[in-house]
Amino acid sequence: MKIFEPYSLEGTKLNNRIVMAPLTRCRAIDNTPNELMRTYYSQRATAGLIIAEGTSPSANGLGYARMPGAYTEAQIEGWKSIAEGVHENNGKIFVQLMHTGRVTSVLNLPENAEVVAPSAIHLQGEMYTDSKGMQPHDKPRAMTQDDIISTQDEFVNATKRLVESGIDGIELHSANGYLLEQFLDPKTNVRTDVYGGDYKNRARFILETAKKVTAAIGGSKVGIRFSPYGVFNDMSGDYKDIVEIYTYLAEELAKLGLAYIHIVDQRVAMNAPEFATDIQRTIKNAFKGNVIVGGNVHSAEQAEHFVNDGYDLVYIGRPFISNPSLVEKLKTNEELAVPDYDTFYTADEVGYTDYA
Ligand SMILES: Cc1cc2nc3c(=O)[nH]c(=O)nc-3n(C[C@H](O)[C@H](O)[C@H](O)COP(=O)(O)O)c2cc1C
């Protein structure tokens, strides 16, 4: 089957077309990647490509408890060790750069960090904190143009340092309602400067960031994740220029030679309604390069279906949690272990590195 064949991702040699989706697992005590995480990723290195969990390039972007960062010496050392572990097991690993923006409780942030977003629009609802349990999200401060530049610099610095440490590439997290998507969606971006308003302006922060990051390490080591029509973290789902904005992004990102566009299907596991248009195809046609799709894949046939449908790589998330040797199991049609949802975001090895 095609999904089990090697694939060149703009020069990164993958052993197969199965991608381990980014999965936040909250094991990075003090926001620093550790030996336990090295073991976890090494166990899963038979994925063609691992996209490691959302990792903040900035103290301001560490919205979740025990989410890893990539801006201190210790954090970069941690990622270096993880890259070594994955490479020793013949795998490849990108790190997903995720700035949570307004999806934050200050209790999860280090001292002197603050909640920033395109506009000062409060996300209703609560999130988990280690110190006080469930707490309301904190209202963000609208980013100034200086904040925009310094945040982009943080993305560039994290990217450079990760790649220097041996990580194979980075993915910009522009999905699921975090900072980058907060710029795209008119519900969370009501700016009146060149970063708000029409779709080209709302795409500007992402395109500038992508441009700076690709200038630093080359487009072939950079991917991006989008969740069009997504509603997670109170995003709009549909809005009037949604097709225009994603078409424009795909065309502009193609010019930067990005390694891939990764499209989350939030109809799976995240309660989004049916897509109003075939947005995945629109993005593929406009981008022309590699596109990763997936969601709810539990068999080789399901994965192969996406490749036969014209997409390039297939992401799989939750099954990788409970099946470290997932690729082998898919090949042999072995029954998959079901993940324990109660240990998705706990702090230790239980439900993390102890799956057979
Ligand atoms: C525990 C958990 C953590 C997740 N963390 C992230 C994340 O850090 N970044 C991201 O883009 N998506 C994240 N997702 C979404 C997954 O990458 C994936 O899109 C989703 O699980 C659907 O795929 P699946 O049906 O194969 O699990 C997470 C999902 C789960 C279940």
| The pair of three-digit structure tokens given for residue 97, joined into one six-digit string | 């750069």
pLDDT of residue 257: 98
Considering the candidates 178, 199, 229, 352, report the single residue annotated as catalytic: 178
pLDDT by residue, tens only, the chain of 356 residues: 999 999 999 999 999 999 999 999 999 999 999 999 999 999 999 999 999 999 999 999 999 999 999 999 999 999 999 999 999 999 999 999 999 999 999 999 999 999 999 999 999 999 999 999 999 999 999 999 999 999 999 999 999 999 999 999 999 999 999 999 999 999 999 999 999 999 999 999 999 999 999 999 999 999 999 999 999 999 999 999 999 999 999 999 999 999 999 999 988 878 888 899 999 999 999 999 999 999 999 999 999 999 999 999 999 999 999 999 999 999 999 999 999 999 999 999 999 999 99
Cβ of residue 338 lying under 6 Å from some atom of ligand 1: no
349 inside domain: no
pLDDT of residue 163: 98
The range of the structural domain enclosing residue 161 comes to 2-343
pLDDT of residue 1: 97
* Atom 14 of ligand 1: nearest residue by CA position: 23
Pocket test for ligand 1, best of 18, 23, 172, 302 (most atoms within 8 A of CB): 23
352 inside domain: no
214 inside domain: yes
For the CA of 265, the nearest atom of ligand 1: 19
pLDDT of residue 269: 76
Task: Kindly state the helix (H) or strand (E) to which residue 307 belongs, with its residue range.
Answer: helix 300-308
175 inside domain: yes
- Is residue 40 flagged as an active site residue? no
Cβ of residue 144 lying under 6 Å from some atom of ligand 1: no
Cβ of residue 317 lying under 6 Å from some atom of ligand 1: yes
Instruction: Say how many domains are in the chain.
Output: 1
- How far is C-alpha 301 from the geometric centre of its chain's CA atoms? 25
351 inside domain: no
DSSP structure class, residue 212: H
Residue 315 CA to residue 309 CA, distance in Å, equals: 14
Q: How many CB atoms lie within 10 A of CB 253?
A: 28
pLDDT of residue 332: 98
Q: Long-range pairs for 162-167 at CB < 8 Å and ≥24 separation? A: 162/70, 162/76, 162/79, 162/95, 163/217, 163/221, 165/76, 165/77, 165/79, 165/80, 165/83, 166/79, 166/80, 166/83, 166/84, 166/87, 167/79, 167/80, 167/82, 167/83, 167/93, 167/94, 167/95
Cβ of residue 295 lying under 6 Å from some atom of ligand 1: yes
265 inside domain: yes
CATH number, residue 135: 3.20.20.70
Q: Please, are residues 93 and 52 in contact by the beta-carbon 8 Å criterion?
A: yes
280 CA → ligand 1 middle, Å: 18
Cβ of residue 339 lying under 6 Å from some atom of ligand 1: no
Pocket test for ligand 1, best of 50, 170, 318 (most atoms within 8 A of CB): 318
**Torsion from C-alpha of 81, 86, 87, 93, nearest 10 degrees:** -100
36: helix, strand or coil: helix
Amino acid at position 238, single letter: D
104 inside domain: yes
Q: Please, are residues 99 and 174 in contact by the beta-carbon 8 Å criterion?
A: no
For the CA of 53, the nearest atom of ligand 1: 8
Q: Whole-model pTM above 0.95? A: yes
Cβ of residue 58 lying under 6 Å from some atom of ligand 1: no
| The pair of three-digit structure tokens given for residue 63, joined into one six-digit string | 């919205």
* Atom 15 of ligand 1: nearest residue by CA position: 23
| The pair of three-digit structure tokens given for residue 156, joined into one six-digit string | 């560039």
**Side-chain-side CA neighbours of residue 100 (13 Å):** 32
pLDDT of residue 271: 80
197 CA → ligand 1 middle, Å: 30
244 inside domain: yes
